[in-house]
Amino acid sequence: MTDDERQQHEAALRGLLYLACRNASGTAITETAQAIAQQAQAEEAPRAPVSEAVRLNDRPDGLKRPNLAHADLAGAQLERAFLIRADLRGADLSGANLNRARMSRADLSGANLREAELHRAYLSGANLTGACLSDGYLSEASMLCADLTGADLSGADLREARLGGARLQRARLCRAVLRGAELKGANLSEADLSAADLSRADLRRAGLRETNLREANLHRADLHKADLTGADLTAADLSDAFLLDARLLGAQLDCAVAMAAPRGATWDAGTRWPGYLAASIAEESDEVAPGIYRVRNDRLPDRTGSAHR
């Protein structure tokens, strides 16, 4: 058995040991998997149980949830695993298979989930603050009201994921795929969504204050009543985007592609419009408060995408 084969064997064992011994600590699982893999590498057939396995039965008094804090579960096979309310703080789950795993209300703060597979995983209410999910596969994952403050989701696949009410302040989502994702009421303030694909995403009432949306794809995105105060949408694709009653104070919309007049939207002197819209917006707006203007909503929003560049 080569070293690479031993490492793959060890990763598979970690997943199996968790499934078989859910009350065991992450340290016990890791050490037992290492011992079994090393024994298998050294011998053709194991002659005796590894001594580390004794610790799999240890459970601190009063423990009511899996304690896998800082566990090494990299590459583990945990499909459909039951990890509700599990303590996975700082755990290494990079490259792990967590498809359809139940992880609602789990604590994954600071965990490494880089390139992990989380297709249709249940993460509602989970704590993922500061976690790394870059290049992960989270399509159709349920992450309602999850806390992803400061998390790294750059390059992640989140198409059709459910993130309604999630906290994503200062999260990194550059180049992420959020096509058709549900982000209704989510807080994305100061997040980096540059070059992200948000086409057909549901961003109704989302908080996008000071958010970086440069070159993002917002084709047919629903931004009804979204707060884009101070957001940077330079060169973003807003073709057929729905911006009815959006808040655009101080928003940077320079060079936005195919943007139509956002009916009912509020703006101020700090808002930067695309050159092809600036004059018409000024003509079609009324001052509703000192220095605050609202685009008149005397006709249906233009969703034809036919605005002149």
pLDDT tens column, 148-197: 999 999 999 999 999 999 999 999 999 999 999 999 999 999 999 999 99
Tell me the per-residue pLDDT of 1-40, one tens digit each, with 9 for 90 and over: 677 766 777 777 777 777 677 667 777 777 877 777 777 6
- Is residue 258 within 8 Å of 305, Cβ to Cβ? yes
Report the pLDDT averaged over residues 82-93: 96
End-to-end CA distance of the chain: 63
d(C-alpha 147, C-alpha 183), whole Å = 13
Q: What is the pTM of this model?
A: 0.83
Average pLDDT over residues 198-213: 98
Domain positions in the chain: 1-62
Reply yes or no on whether the pLDDT at 123 is more than 50. Answer: yes
HSE toward the beta carbon, residue 107, CA cutoff 13 A = 12
- Per-residue pLDDT tens digits for 243-260: 999 999 999 998 999 999
Q: What is the pLDDT of residue 223?
A: 98
Record the tokens describing residue 49, joined without a space: 């149980």
Strand partners, 305: none
- Cα 169 to chain centroid distance, Å, stands at 11
Give me the DSSP letters along the chain.
--HHHHHHHHHHHHHHHHHH-TTS-HHHHHHHHHHHHHHHHH-SS--S--GGGGGGG---TT--S-B-TT-B-TT-B-TT-B-TT-B-TT-B-TT-B-TT-B-TT-B-TT-B-TT-B-TT-B-TT-B-TT-B-TT-B-TT-B-TT-B-TT-B-TT-B-TT-B-TT-B-TT-B-TT-B-TT-B-TT-B-TT-B-TT-B-TT-B-TT-B-TT-B-TT-B-TT-B-TT-B-TT-B-TT-B-TT-B-TT-B-TT-B-TT-BSPPP-TT-EE-TT-B--TTTHHHHHHTEEEEETTEEEE--SS----S-----
How confident is the model at residue 22, as a pLDDT? 65
Q: Which of 67, 118, 114 is nearest to 97 (CA)?
A: 118
Q: Which residue type is seen at 18?
A: Y
φ/ψ (deg, to 5) at 240: 60, 15
Backbone Cα Rg of the chain: 24
